[in-house]
Amino acid sequence: MSFPTAPFSGPLAAHLGGIAVRSRDGALPVAPASDRSVWDRRSGTADRVGIEAIIARAEVERPTPWPHPRASDAARVHRDGDRSAWEDAAFERQRRLSRATIAAAATLDDAWIDEVVDGVVLLCEQSSWCWPAHDDTLRSHGAVLATVTDPYVDLGAGEAVAQLAWIDHLLGAQLDARAPGVRARIRHEARVRVFEPFQRRRDWHWIGLDGDVHNWNPWIHGNVIVAALGLLDAADETVERDRVIALAIEGLDRYVAVLPADGAIDEGYAYWWNGAARALEVLDVLAHATDGAADATAVTSLRETVAFPHRSHLGGDWFVNHADGQAKPPVDQPWHALHRAARRHRDIGAEAFAASHRHPGTPAATEREGLGRLLRALTDPAWVAASPAPPPLPRDVWLASTEVFLARGSAGSSDGLTLVAKGGHNGEHHNHNDVGSFLVAVDGVPVIVDAGRPTYTAATFGPDRYGIWTMQSAWHNVPVVRGRTQPAGRDAAARGATAEVGDDGSTFTADLAAAYPDAGLDHWRRRARLDRVAGRVEIVDAWRFADDAPTGDDTLLHLLVAGDVRLETGGARVIPEGGARPVRLRWPDKVAATAEVRHLDDPMLTEVWGGRLTRLALPLASRTQLQVTVELDTPIEDSP
């Protein structure tokens, strides 16, 4: 069978239009449980360590009640903004189902098949697969609970339908033998909740018809393609199967069309995994389903985005974090997906970076990233056998599309100082008002930092977003000008952002004046340089007001610092988190800096920074220029 070239003609159209797709059998790239050469827990080729770890977790929870997402918790999104209570229960229910699925595939034990059936039916009986924070039921129907006759297709619906498709693919024969009818139930729910609304409504915001395309696009479209390949398998569904896949590829093409040529993600590293990585994964699924005919490796932006994770790496578990990302994200990312994409695109650095997270004798993945990703990790021979490799740690990175710059002392090492600076604008996805902000890491550990974001609530993506302190420019490493902070919006942007790379040092420059539209600036030029010869970071700000008035008391520079901070005359000494070497921040002696401790209690922040961050305020009255330097605090007796 084949599907037509979709109406939207983007980078994928030339590679994916009119190609033949396998019939349902074998369309998904994982061996079914009946293939014991793969799934036998003692002699199969699947990751035995990972399987045994998953079975052990599943054994512990099997006697306990299944998690139950409650209606009252769903309604809390609209009552007090809490979205975690419902999501935590729903997510853990699906993770338990994934664990049971692996146990069933590895053992073929009837008790585990029953556990899978229980989980499948619970998911099918859940009123909605849409996460309550995403549902348009309040706007469309005036309801605080899901309207079951008008399903909303969101990330949650995509994840649920794909999970059921993978279960059906993996355990279809066993489900037919143990619980006849359950596979028909899966197909009914998939049709009512996903396939029909996906085709009926073409105004889904995540398609990107207005050109504003974000990570929902490949995440949802990828799951819809998996579901269509696995569940639209009846003789009279061939045309619909082709149509759903074609519509999903058309939507995916819109994402690839706006992915910049350098592969950068304005949402930052944390969102790469659920944006560009999702696109790479579904293209890999389509390559399998078309016997290699669907090959998009010639698309420059896809090839370049494979390198984005290691270009964002500071060292160890630390990463460049802008927007809503964490500086220390969870370590159990789906590294196998990056490894597979790097192999396909022949990116040796990205392959090494993924392999640096593969440790023999440890599980190849966890169930936290969804069943499809777990299955791919457990059954990818190259990933299961991968040996650790040192991360690339490129010396210099300049991503012109997002105006993000990184410079470290030398390639392949996080030792010493690393400088990160950004231009950009304040209309980016998951935006924080941070035009011109910079970060400094020592030995790979951030010391002048971006806080990241707290736990998501209803306010996070609503009109009150910039009431959250971590989103405000006053809590980033940028100035407050005449009492004004940066506003949100694309017009608040850096001008003339450039990077100059050299062996002696690398420099970022930008004018930040447009990020303070009501401050009366003629210019605010920021120069951020890593001096490799002197072994220091230099931040030089120079500014002038259009009315030539002097700088007043209401203009200052903020620096957000992690670690133990001790203010001194003309500077501060900082002992960073994680055992990195101390550093000294220096500025003119006459600048009387003050320190404000921000105590943290949100787990999204405390698991990265501990219990506090410190904001330094440097008053700039009567000045037109300021230089701040950061150096290793080398004891005198250790100096050459």
Q: What is the pLDDT of residues 115-158, one digit of tens each?
A: 999 999 999 999 999 999 999 999 999 999 999 999 999 999 99
Is the pLDDT at 101 greater than 50, yes or no?
A: yes
Q: What is the pLDDT of residues 280-296, one digit of tens each?
A: 999 999 999 999 999 99
Distance CA 386, CA 360 (A): 8
21-45 exposure pattern, b = at least 16 Cβ within 10 A, e = fewer: beebeebbbbbbbebeebbbbeebb
Q: What is the pLDDT of residues 199-219, one digit of tens each?
A: 999 999 999 998 889 999 999
Token digits for 223? 């799951």
Average pLDDT over residues 86-91: 98
Q: 229, 26 in Cβ contact below 8 A? A: no
Q: What is the pLDDT of residues 333-359, one digit of tens each?
A: 999 999 999 999 999 999 999 999 998
Q: What is the DSSP letter of 194?
A: I
Q: What is the pLDDT of residues 226-261, one digit of tens each?
A: 999 999 999 999 999 999 999 999 999 999 999 999
Residues 6+ positions from 219 with CB-CB distance below 8 Å: 155, 158, 274, 275, 278
Which residue is listed with tokens 């700000």?
541
Distance CA 201, CA 183 (A): 26
299 half-sphere exposure, CB direction, 13 A CA radius: 26
Is the pLDDT at 3 greater than 70, yes or no?
A: no
The rounded mean pLDDT for the chain is: 95
Is the pLDDT at 78 greater than 50, yes or no?
A: yes
Q: 402, 266 in Cβ contact below 8 A? A: yes
If 0-12 CB within 10 Å is exposed, 13-18 middle and 19+ buried, where does residue 601 land?
exposed
pLDDT of residue 254: 95
pLDDT of residue 458: 87
pLDDT of residue 4: 44
Q: How far is CA 626 from CA 435, 491, 557, in A?
A: 18, 26, 9
* Percentage with pLDDT > 70 across the chain: 98
Which residues, in sequence order, are bridge partners of residue 510? 526
- In 3D space, the residue among 183, 165, 163 whose CA is nearest the CA of residue 173 turns out to be 183
Distance CA 302, CA 259 (A): 8
3-class DSSP string for 594-629: EEEEEECCCHHHHHHHCCEEEEEEEECCCCCEEEEE
451 pLDDT band (50/70/90 cuts)? very high
Q: Please give the backbone phi and psi of residue 449, each rounded to the nearest 5 degrees, phi first.
A: -130, 170
Distance CA 186, CA 202 (A): 24
- In 3D space, the residue among 162, 103, 157 whose CA is nearest the CA of residue 130 turns out to be 157
Distance CA 541, CA 526 (A): 5
| End-to-end CA, the chain | 72
The distance from CA 117 to its chain's CA centroid, rounded to whole angstroms, is: 32
Q: Which of 23-32, 167-176, 486-495 bottoms out in mean pLDDT, i.e. has the lowest?
A: 23-32
Is the pLDDT at 2 greater than 50, yes or no?
A: no
Token digits for 636? 């005198």
Q: How far is CA 587 from CA 167, 558, 573, 625, 626, in A?
A: 60, 13, 12, 11, 8
Q: Please give the backbone phi and psi of residue 148, each rounded to the nearest 5 degrees, phi first.
A: -70, -20
Per DSSP, the residues of 315-364 read ETTEE---TT--SS--S---HHHHHHHHHHHT-HHHHHHHHTT--TTS-S
pLDDT of residue 635: 67
Average pLDDT over residues 578-599: 96
Distance CA 19, CA 5 (A): 9
Distance CA 305, CA 209 (A): 23
Is the pLDDT at 361 greater than 90, yes or no?
A: no
Q: 305, 265 in Cβ contact below 8 A? A: yes
Q: What is the pLDDT of residues 17-47, one digit of tens each?
A: 777 787 767 899 999 999 999 999 999 999 9
Token digits for 87? 């999501």
- In 3D space, the residue among 196, 188, 184, 93 whose CA is nearest the CA of residue 151 turns out to be 196
**H helix or E strand, kind and range, residue 439:** strand 438-442
6 pLDDT band (50/70/90 cuts)? very low
567 C-beta neighbours (distance < 10 Å), count: 15
Distance CA 356, CA 119 (A): 35
Question: Does the pTM exceed 0.75?
Answer: yes
Q: What is the pLDDT of residues 529-558, one digit of tens each?
A: 999 999 999 999 999 999 999 999 999 999
Is the pLDDT at 484 greater than 90, yes or no?
A: yes
Distance CA 125, CA 185 (A): 10
Helices H / strands E in the chain, number of each: 21, 21
640 pLDDT band (50/70/90 cuts)? very low
Distance CA 324, CA 313 (A): 16
Which residue is listed with tokens 């604008």?
425
416 C-beta neighbours (distance < 10 Å), count: 18
Residues 6+ positions from 425 with CB-CB distance below 8 Å: 435, 489, 490, 491, 492, 493, 494
Is the pLDDT at 639 greater than 70, yes or no?
A: no
157 half-sphere exposure, CB direction, 13 A CA radius: 29
Residues 6+ positions from 499 with CB-CB distance below 8 Å: 396, 398, 405, 506, 507, 508
Is the pLDDT at 303 greater than 50, yes or no?
A: yes
Q: 363, 469 in Cβ contact below 8 A? A: no
